[in-house]
A and B are shown apart, each in its own frame.
Chain A
Amino acid sequence: GESVGLHLPTLSVQEGDNSIINCAYSNSASDYFIWYKQESGKGPQFIIDIRSNMDKRQGQRVTVLLNKTVKHLSLQIAATQPGDSAVYFCAENTGNQFYFGTGTSLTVIP
């Protein structure tokens, strides 16, 4: 199957700083990407998505950047808060399948 990998398994940031979580994908035909947040013991929650005809999309405190040339996706969280501590997954949509990365564990230090 297709692979979606994350560069860093863990990330620690100081409260109030910005966080950047990266993701590499392998299928250049993928046209839809999603970021999810998963808190311990819970199902993943949708954060933000982006389609391949865009290179940037902003939400509330979050921005997703898509670089199709190098097949790279990133999630930026502004003014990171303790409640942002979780595992973050990226996913790519190819046809009717979604493939997930291994996840990055974000820890926010108060």
Chain B
Amino acid sequence: GAVVSQHPSRVICKSGTSVKIECRSLDFQATTMFWYRQFPKQSLMLMATSNEGSKATYEQGVEKDKFLINHASLTLSTLTVTSAHPEDSSFYICSATQGNGNTIYFGEGSWLTVV
């Protein structure tokens, strides 16, 4: 089946630094990728939707200058958390789909800890 890979699976960074998380669709072309944040024992919270070659659409309340999303190709999207703070520590998950009416597949998630 379709596979979406996230990297790194775990990362620890210092306050004030930036960290990049990659999301790759391994065996299909993903016209749309989504980024989520998840707190313990809570549901997924959609942060932004990105379509290849265009700017990401951010959900209300998500700072686009803090969470930079780039969808440079049909198989890769990146999320960069800039000037990270401890409150940015969370589980970040991406997903990808070939488009309308197609199944959405998730990556394994990336644990970010900001110290």
Residues of A in contact with B (beta carbons under 8 Å apart):
1, 31-32, 34, 36, 41-46, 49, 51, 89, 91, 93, 95-98, 100-103, 105
B32 touches A100 (CB 8 A): no
B103 touches A97 (CB 8 A): no
A96 touches B108 (CB 8 A): no
> Given A97-B49, A103-B43, are A44 and B100 also a contact pair (CB < 8 Å)?
no
Question: Quick one: which of B6, B41, B100, B106 contacts A45, CB cutoff 8 A?
Answer: B106
| Residues on the A chain within 8 Å of B49, using CB | 96-97
Apart from A32-B101, A44-B106, list 18 A-B contacts with CB within 8 A: A31-B101, A34-B104, A41-B91, A43-B4, A43-B106, A43-B108, A44-B93, A45-B106, A46-B1, A46-B105, A51-B101, A96-B32, A97-B49, A98-B97, A98-B104, A100-B44, A100-B46, A102-B43
B100 touches A96 (CB 8 A): yes
Residues of B in contact with A (beta carbons under 8 Å apart):
1, 4, 6, 32, 34, 41-44, 46, 49, 59, 91, 93, 95, 97, 99-101, 103-109, 111
Shortest distance from the beta carbon of A6 to any chain B beta carbon, whole Å: 9
A100 touches B108 (CB 8 A): no
| Residues on the B chain within 8 Å of A42, using CB | 108-109
| Residues on the A chain within 8 Å of B32, using CB | 96
